[in-house]
């Protein structure tokens, strides 16, 4: 049972759990937290020490370390909520050892932080801050005091994650030549959209860049990433901008590089240590611009972050899955059940996809294919519900237990308090948001718009074709001449086939597509939506162009598709209406 603090409110007892907060929040945000918990400051040990066993939550606002020693003093803590994306100040391993979930606020910080990165780059290269100080000290105009151009510079971004991409997008407006380096190269479509070039090594990027912006996450691998050798590789006229974490930079090496003229300037929103102690060399340097960790300090962003942090807190206190957990504390991959018996892996999985007979359910195939490619074989639980023949009145009642629409497919996200998503396209979109690294939509905006148009057309159109050529994954190619099946003479079928063929050619010949065998290069949602049609075309043999026929074979030969077909072959359910074609 959760220990509660009690107080009178509106004539009733108001029970709230006890939480520790590292640094007081602004009044509006503090009120949001106090609406959920009774709050004691972390440094007020005299107040919470005698009540340590009552403390249920830790709320981190200003990145004061939360380590194993603190956790050891709080035997009944059930949740840690972090205000911010970075959580390197939290000992996640210690939390994991205690089964304590940790939440953060990813994604929402990117725009505000990228704004600061560009602002620091401009302030440093164009001497805006130093000019402000000089003018206040002695108001005069010096025509011989010049800065460096940002608009024509070579910009190097270290880490092209959420923040790095936002920086690159803003840099496009300045016409910079933008390079990037990171753990892995992003898809070429993203590179084209952001106008960035990949560098195979950090040193290569540093050697070529006039302004270097650090956007990488703080990890064991990136700690001290910028040190003596890296500064020696930079241009002597270069500026270093850091909006990531102070520990990414070896501070002593930076001070030395600035003093010795190995680099020209630095503009830092974060430092190590933070804050800098009085008398630190960086505080006295005119070629250093310092801002006090303002990356996310923007009213709208901070309120969105607080909403996310409070949602994590609420879920943790309720022993429910956090909506925004840190990756280490949210393993979502589980073993895919091979039979109908519920296993421990099945019980602990995050996503459950309910599908119909694999032999017949084309809409189930579309959603399953997206999940299978994005999540992997062990990344979701699968439940097959046998479908009745067309016109069955009892089938909807059976399916209503899985979906409010009474239809398949339906996806349940257990980490979202049992959220149910129905309709194959809605499921595909949801999975794309859960797994952005899989790039299920083309990275080029123009190709993405075309792909979405094609998906909507195949999702809502071509009813004549769907009615006359229903999916049956067990059917081999028919022993007939191309284009001679009787269905092609039915009203609307031939025109549907012609339109689909034209649509395939439009996608395959799109000048914005990436290299690859699928419609826009790599597999995406658009391919999943076309997959049942591709199988039907191979079975019923309409007249296709060579490229369209090759694409249909590409779909059928996918390992994931073969897995689906093999399962369909092993099914014992049989519906005459779908077999006698």
Least-confidence region, from 101-105, 151-155, 448-452, 537-541: 537-541
Q: How would DSSP label each residue in 523-581?
A: --HHHHHHHHHHHHHHHH-----HHHHHHHHHHHTSHHHHHHHHHHHH-----HHHH--
Strand 154-158 with 12-21, pairing? unpaired
Residue 485's pLDDT is 83
pLDDT band at 323 (very low <50, low <70, confident <90, very high): confident
- Phi and psi at residue 83, to the nearest 5°: -90, 95
Distance (Å, rounded) from C-alpha 150 to C-alpha 393? 68
Mean pLDDT, range 86-112, rounded to an integer: 87
| Structure token digits, residue 54 | 């009552």
Residue 554's pLDDT is 93
Choose between 278 and 62: higher pLDDT: 278
Q: Is pLDDT of 389 > 70?
A: no
Give the DSSP letter of residue 350.
S
Q: Is 245 a catalytic residue?
A: yes
Residue 489's pLDDT is 83
Number of Cβ atoms within 10 Å of the Cβ of 147: 15
| Structure token digits, residue 535 | 């199988």
Q: Which residues touch 127 (CB under 8 Å, ≥6 apart)?
A: 145, 147
Q: Which domains are seen in the chain, by residue range?
A: 4-106+301-329 (3.40.50.720), 110-290 (3.40.50.720), 344-579 (1.20.1050.130)
Chain centroid, CA 363 distance in Å: 25
Question: In which element (H, E) is residue 211 found?
Answer: strand 211-214
Work out the angle between the directed axes of helices 546-556 and 559-570 (0-180°, nearest 10).
60
Least-confidence region, from 56-65, 324-333, 406-415, 514-523: 324-333
Instruction: Give the active site residue among 245, 324, 448, 513.
Output: 245
Q: Is pLDDT of 341 > 50?
A: no
Residue 388's pLDDT is 57
- Phi and psi at residue 18, to the nearest 5°: -95, 130
| Residues 531-562 pLDDT 10s | 999 998 888 888 888 888 899 999 999 999 99
240 in Cβ contact with 206 (< 8 Å): no
Instruction: Give the active site residue among 34, 54, 148, 274.
Output: 274
Q: Is pLDDT of 345 > 60?
A: no
**Start-to-end CA span in the chain (Å):** 62
Q: Which residues touch 394 (CB under 8 Å, ≥6 apart)?
A: 388
Q: Is pLDDT of 284 > 60?
A: yes
Best-predicted range by mean pLDDT among 132-141, 234-243, 303-312? 234-243
Least-confidence region, from 302-311, 459-468, 497-506, 525-534: 459-468
Give the DSSP letter of residue 367.
H
| C-alpha distance from residue 339 to each of 2, 161, 351, 382 (Å) | 38, 39, 17, 10
Could you tell me which of 456, 454, 427, 579 has the C-alpha nearest to residue 509? 454
| Residues 495-538 pLDDT 10s | 888 898 899 999 999 988 888 889 999 999 999 999 999 998 88
Least-confidence region, from 136-140, 194-198, 210-214: 136-140
Residue 224's pLDDT is 94
| C-alpha distance from residue 241 to each of 63, 265, 274, 282 (Å) | 21, 9, 16, 14
Average pLDDT over all residues of the chain: 86
Instruction: Give the active site residue among 165, 293, 352, 448.
Output: 293
Q: Is 274 a catalytic residue?
A: yes
**Length in residues, the chain:** 581
């Amino acid at each position: 049972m959760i220990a509660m603090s009690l107080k009178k409110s509106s004539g009733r007892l108001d029970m709230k759990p006890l939480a520790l907060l590292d640094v007081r929040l602004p009044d509006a945000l503090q009120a949001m937290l106090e609406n959920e918990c009774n709050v004691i400051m972390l440094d007020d040990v005299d107040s919470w020490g005698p009540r340590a066993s009552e403390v249920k939550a830790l709320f981190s606002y200003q990145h004061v370390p939360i380590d194993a020693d603190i956790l050891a003093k709080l035997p009944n803590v059930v949740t840690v909520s972090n205000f911010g994306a970075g959580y390197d100040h939290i000992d996640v391993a210690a939390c994991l050892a205690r089964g304590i979930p940790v939440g953060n606020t990813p994604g929402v910080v990117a725009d505000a932080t990228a704004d600061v990165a560009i602002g620091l780059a401009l302030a440093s290269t164009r001497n805006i801050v130093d000019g402000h100080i000089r003018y206040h000290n002695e108001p005069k105009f010096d025509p011989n005091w010049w800065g460096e151009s940002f608009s024509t510079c070579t910009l190097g971004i270290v880490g092209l994650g959420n923040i790095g991409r936002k920086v690159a997008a803003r840099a496009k407006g300045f016409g910079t030549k933008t390079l990037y380096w990171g753990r892995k190269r992003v898809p070429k479509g993203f590179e084209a959209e952001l106008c960035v070039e990949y560098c195979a090594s950090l040193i290569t990027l540093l050697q070529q860049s006039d302004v270097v912006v650090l956007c990488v996450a703080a990890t064991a691998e990136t700690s001290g990433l910028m040190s003596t050798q890296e500064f020696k590789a930079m241009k002597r006229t270069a500026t270093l901008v850091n909006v990531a974490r102070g520990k990414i930079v070896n501070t002593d090496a930076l001070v030395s590089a600035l003093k010795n003229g190995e680099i020209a300037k630095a503009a830092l929103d974060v430092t190590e240590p933070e804050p800098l102690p009085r008398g630190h060399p960086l505080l006295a340097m005119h070629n250093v611009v310092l801002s006090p960790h303002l990356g996310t300090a923007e009213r709208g962003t901070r309120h969105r972050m607080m909403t996310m942090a409070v949602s994590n807190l609420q879920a943790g206190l309720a022993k429910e899955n956090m909506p925004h957990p840190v990756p280490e504390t949210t393993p979502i991959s589980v073993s895919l059940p091979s039979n109908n018996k519920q296993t421990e892996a099945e019980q602990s999985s995050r996503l459950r996809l309910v599908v119909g007979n694999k032999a017949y359910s084309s809409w189930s195939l579309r959603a399953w294919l997206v999940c299978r490619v994005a999540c992997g074989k062990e990344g979701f639980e699968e439940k097959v519900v046998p479908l009745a023949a067309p016109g069955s009145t009892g089938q909807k009642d059976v399916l209503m237990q899985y979906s409010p629409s009474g239809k398949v497919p339906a996806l349940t996200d257990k980490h979202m308090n049992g959220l149910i998503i129905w309709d194959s396209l809605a499921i595909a979109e949801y999975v794309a948001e859960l797994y952005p690294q899989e790039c299920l939509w083309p990275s080029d905006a123009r190709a993405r718009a075309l792909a979405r148009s094609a998906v909507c057309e195949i999702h809502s159109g071509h009813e004549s074709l769907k009615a006359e050529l229903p999916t049956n994954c067990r059917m081999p190619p028919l022993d007939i001449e191309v284009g001679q099946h009787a269905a092609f003479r039915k009203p609307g079928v031939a025109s549907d086939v012609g339109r689909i063929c034209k649509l395939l050619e439009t996608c395959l010949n799109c000048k914005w597509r990436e290299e690859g065998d699928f419609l826009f290069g790599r597999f995406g949602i658009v391919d999943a939506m076309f997959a049942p049609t591709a199988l039907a075309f191979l079975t019923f043999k309409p007249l296709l162009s060579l490229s369209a026929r090759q694409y249909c074979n590409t779909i059928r030969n996918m390992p994931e598709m073969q897995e689906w077909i093999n399962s369909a072959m092993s099914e014992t359910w049989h519906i005459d209406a779908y077999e006698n074609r």
